[in-house]
Chains A and B, each alone.
Chain A
């Protein structure tokens, strides 16, 4: 069963604007969430994470928001840059348990 869902396969935004990538999960036991970025012909690279004790975590242009009641998280990229064009995977797990579940990914295209 798909415990982590990214319902938008693709997203296109203009350079300088905000990119918002969404992720939903079904397992209420998940308490640690991560975003990975993947360029073509490379493996996924860790971008940002958030634990369930927080509702927001910020790192430069990247902010992740967590809504536990809705079982929803989102990644905001502001401002978006052409180099941000990649596939973004949402992942979830129980903290300190290495069983991580990934969404199907969202392909972000940032147009100059």
Chain B
């Protein structure tokens, strides 16, 4: 079974440029998460989808970040414009449903460097 797939793996951009990340969750997983992990810290939730509905986006900086999950499968996370402080690893995760508790399966992440 394929795991969570993210692309690109690495991205280097100049500040004020736009950037987008893509995530393909595990097949059949209804819940999808985007996390940001700063250096030396644990992942912090940005947004959570249940199917195509964003059910928790309270930590998403809405002035510059946006996300979508069309048809409840793949998802994209966009930053426009990027700032120096956005440099981090962006992780996507998915989970089946609450019957598994809260076991989330993570992709390898996209490492963003904003210069």
- Tell yes or no: A69 within 8 A of B by CB: no
Interface size bracket, B side: 20 to 34
What's the Cα separation between A27 and B99 when bound, in Å?
Answer: 23
The count of chain A contact residues (Cβ–Cβ below 8 Å) is 27
Of B4, B33, B102, which one neighbours A95 at CB under 8 angstroms? Answer: B102
* A 32-84 contacts with B by CB, 8 A: 32, 34, 36, 41-46, 49, 51
Contact call A44/B106, Cβ cutoff below 8 A:
yes
Interface residues of B in 46-93 (CB under 8 A from A): 48, 56, 91, 93
| Cβ-neighbour of A49 out of B44, B101, B106 (below 8 A) | B101
Most A C-beta atoms less than 10 A away, residue of B31, B41, B43, B107 = B43
Q: Which of A42, A95, A100 contacts B108 (CB 8 A)?
A: A42
Asked if A89 is an interface residue, CB under 8 A from chain B, the answer is yes
A43 CB contacts on chain B under 8 angstroms: 4, 91, 93, 106-109
Whether A102 lies near B43 (C-beta < 8 A) is yes
By a CB distance below 8 angstroms, the chain A residues around B108 are 41-43
| B42, B56, B98, B102: the one within 8 Å of A103 (CB) | B42
Known pairs A32-B101, A36-B106, A99-B45; list 20 more (Cβ under 8 Å): A4-B42, A34-B102, A41-B108, A43-B107, A43-B108, A44-B43, A45-B106, A51-B101, A91-B42, A93-B102, A96-B101, A97-B102, A98-B33, A98-B48, A98-B56, A98-B104, A103-B42, A104-B41, A104-B42, A105-B42
Which of B's residues lie within 8 Å of A, judged by CB?
4, 31, 33, 40-45, 48, 56, 91, 93, 95, 98, 101-109
10 chain-A/chain-B pairs, Cβ below 8 angstroms = A43-B106, A43-B108, A49-B101, A95-B102, A97-B102, A98-B31, A98-B33, A98-B104, A102-B43, A105-B40
